[in-house]
Amino acid sequence: MVDSLVVDLSRLQFAATALYHFLFVPLTLGMTFFIAAVETVYVITRNPIYKQMAQFWSKLFLINFALGVATGLTMEFQFGTNWSYYSTFVGDAFGAPLAVEGLMAFFMESTFIGIMVFGWQRLRPGTHLAVTYLVALGSNLSALWILVANGFMQVPEGMAFNYETLRMEMTSFLDLFFNADAQAKFVHTSIAGYVTAAIFVTGISAFYMARGRHVELARRSFRMATVFGVLSTLGVITLGDALGYVGGQSQPAKLAAMEGLWEPEQAPMPFNAIAFPSQKDRTNHGTVQIPAVLSLLVTHSFDGTVPSVKEIEAKNEDRIRSGIISARALKLLQATPTDAQAKADFEAHKADLGFGFLVQRYSPELQDVTEEQIKQAAQDSIPPVAPIFWSFRLMVLCGLLMLAYFVLAMIYSIRNNIHKKTWLLKLAPWMIPVPFLACEFGWLVAELGRQPWTLYEVLPTWMSASTHSVSYLVFSLIGFVTVYTIFIIIEMYLMVRAVKEGPGHDIPSDSLFTKFLPGYAALAKSGKQEA
């Protein structure tokens, strides 16, 4: 049995790697389509300002993309180094989407990025635009296949357990691909990337406008990004609701943790707006509730109910008892494959095999399993409530804050008086971290909510880790965090440097625009004087 400290350190190392990597992913996903939209306007209008905009934002995108690749490659190696049993157990199904992502999406994206960067003077505008859209398609296809793999971990479909090989084997690639969790999460994650890009563009554009630099580029970028941001934020909120509904059906324990729901409630169920969950006491402290809202949010009705932690634990106790039978039968089949009774017992209870593995942590041989051990394993089946509860609320709060920001910014931009709203121009750069925080909170909800499973209700996390030493994991964890922190510092340095340099020479502003908006004319004039 793998040391529990080794499991915890392996989890911490992968979490650190994933969270660092995901600081780069949303911006990559969103910037590609924003750049494509800007370049589309250029191809239609042939206004050189839009070409300059596309080239400038492409430069910032490339910085982010390069460091995102560097942080992402190590994650796939960690499956083989730190999670060897998991890789062996699910490699047939889990490896397929990762292989497709590497061979099709990543190489497609990387190839066309090179053409996009070096093709401005070599390709016709329409051809270059097609290349830019292929870059956007490639980046989003990469996200799709990664999320198909993650969706398989959340809702294992398209596979079956073979007791002869002790491995999960693929039964349907289509079921794997069209996993409801994967598809809902892909759309939600992609659009969250568009929100991130919109915040990023408005923040830098506001920085330029507040200082009277590159005003024409900044103004047009700001307006496009605000419209982009309003639509994307509304999409994220809407699809987040759909993802929550799908997740609630397949992972009721995660939903109960998100809502801090310990005890059964009568419909219409209240929503815990604020609470301080205690895993030890199995209750909440300092609760502030909103009546009837939870039923409406989760079930889209006032008479719907959500399973509580207490109800889920009681159900899982029964599944553990069933899983013990299947796990014992599996041991017999490994020794005597022709044992008909063992095969019958296994087939009758194989759906609960993972719960048998869950209690095996306390009784390795599954002999004389006590009721205490069964109750402890049932409690283990509930993920950590407090961090999931607050991560979810902080994610939602960030989303509502960004929606309010985008609506105000779009209104002022359409009215052509954004230059007068100095408070908003000063606020915009400080909004840049908000979507990144929202994305990180979202992934904490998704991944912590899956615990204690690496493969939901099939393979417990404690069984999945490699048998490394504690010293090895501590050393590698420190190394990863150090290197990735350096990557973040490098990106910040390169981004700040690129923003300070700007897009180069300013393209003259539209005469009608400066005529009727003297405030912008003054900004443009002061920018030229600075130059």
Q: Which pLDDT score is estimated for 133?
A: 92
Q: What is the mean pLDDT of residues 176-183?
A: 86
Indicate whether 256 belongs to any domain.
Answer: no
Residue 239 pLDDT level (bands cut at 50, 70, 90): confident
**Structurally, how many domains does the chain consist of?**
3
Check residue 507 and give its pLDDT: 63
pLDDT at res. 372: 92
pTM for the whole thing? 0.87
517 versus 143: which is more confidently predicted?
A: 143
Where does a domain end: 380, 405, 425? 380
Residue 510 has pLDDT above 60, yes or no: no
Decide if 14 contacts 81 (C-beta within 8 A): no
Q: What residues contact 252, with CB distance under 8 A and at least 6 apart?
A: 306, 307, 312
Kindly report the average pLDDT of the chain as a whole number.
86
User: Which pLDDT value is given to residue 222?
Assistant: 92
48 phi and psi angles, rounded to 5 deg: -60, -20
**pLDDT higher than threshold 80 for residue 516:** no
How high is the pLDDT of residue 1? 59
The helix-helix angle for 309-335 and 371-380 (nearest 10°) equals 110
User: Based on the domain organization, do 332 and 195 belong to the same domain?
Assistant: no
pLDDT for 121 equals 87
Say yes or no: 103 and 217 in one domain. yes
Domain boundary among 380, 411, 441: 380
The answer to whether residue 221 is domain-embedded is yes
Q: Is the pLDDT of residue 128 over 60?
A: yes
531 domain residue, yes or no: no
Contact 183, 491 (CB under 8 A): no
**All residues at 6 or more sequence positions from 414 whose CB lies less than 8 Å from its CB, including other chains:** 223
By mean pLDDT, which of 69-78, 133-142, 191-200, 318-327 is the weakest?
A: 69-78
Q: For tokens 């190394």, what's the residue?
A: 479
Cα 470 to Cα 309: distance, rounded to the nearest angstrom? 33
Same domain, yes or no: 266 and 244: no
Element (H, E) at 423: helix 422-430
The residue segments making up the domain with residue 352 are 309-380
* Helices 309-335 and 340-349, packing angle to 10 deg: 160
* Radius of gyration in angstroms for the set of CA atoms belonging to the chain, rounded to a whole number: 26
Task: Let me know whether 370 and 407 are in one domain.
Answer: no
- CB of 210 closer than 8 Å to CB of 425: yes
Which among 16, 67, 5, 2 has a CA at the least distance from the CA of 479? 16
Q: Which residue has the higher pLDDT, 202 or 184?
A: 202
The reply to whether 26 falls in a domain is yes
Q: Comparing 140 with 40, which gets the higher pLDDT?
A: 40
pLDDT of 325 > 70? The answer is yes
The H or E element spanning position 158 is none
Q: Do the beta carbons of residue 362 and residue 373 sit within 8 Å? A: yes
Please report which confidence band the pLDDT of residue 508 belongs to, taking 50, 70 and 90 as the band edges: low
For residues 358 and 506, membership in a common domain is answered with: no
Nearest alpha-carbon partner for 491 in 21, 118, 115: 21
> Are 15 and 74 in a shared domain?
yes
Task: Give mean pLDDT, residues 268-293.
Answer: 89
Residue tagged 């209870």 (tokens): 349
Least confident window among 43-57, 100-114, 334-348, 382-396: 100-114
* Res. 481: pLDDT tops 90: no
Q: Answer positive or negative: Cα dihedral of 233, 237, 238, 240.
A: positive
Write out the E strands in 48-137: none
User: Comparing 338 with 230, which gets the higher pLDDT?
Assistant: 230
> How large is the average pLDDT for residues 190-209?
92
How far is Cα of residue 186 from the mean position of the Cα atoms in its chain?
Answer: 9
Q: Are 241 and 350 in contact (CB under 8 A)?
A: no
Q: In the structure encoding, which two tokens stand for residue 276, read together?
A: 């301080």
Query: Under a CB-based contact definition with an 8 Å cutoff, are residues 460 and 356 in contact?
Result: no
**Residue 511 reports pLDDT greater than 70:** no
Assigned domain for 495 exists? yes
- Indicate if 369 and 475 belong to the same structural domain: no
Q: What does residue 155 show for φ and ψ, rounded to 5 degrees?
A: -135, 90
What's the confidence (pLDDT) of residue 429? 93
Confidence of residue 430 (pLDDT cuts 50, 70, 90): very high
Q: Does residue 116 sit in the same domain as residue 215? A: yes
Q: Considering the domain boundaries, does residue 530 fall inside one?
A: no
Domain ends where: 380, 412, 436?
380
Compute the distance between CA of residue 376 and CA of residue 58 in angstroms, rounded to an integer.
53
Model confidence at 391: pLDDT above 90:
yes
Tokens coding 421: 């709203």
Is residue 117 in a domain? yes
Residue 112 confidence (pLDDT) above 90: no
397 and 517, same structural domain?
yes
pLDDT digits (tens, 9 = 90+) for 360-390: 988 888 888 899 999 999 999 999 999 999 9
pLDDT number for residue 230: 92
Apex CA 433: angle with CA 431 and CA 439, to 5°? 120
- 30 and 170 belong to one structural domain: yes
Q: Is 257 a domain residue?
A: no
* 142 in the same domain as 97: yes
Residues of the chain above pLDDT 90, percent: 35
Residues 125 and 153 both lie in one domain = yes
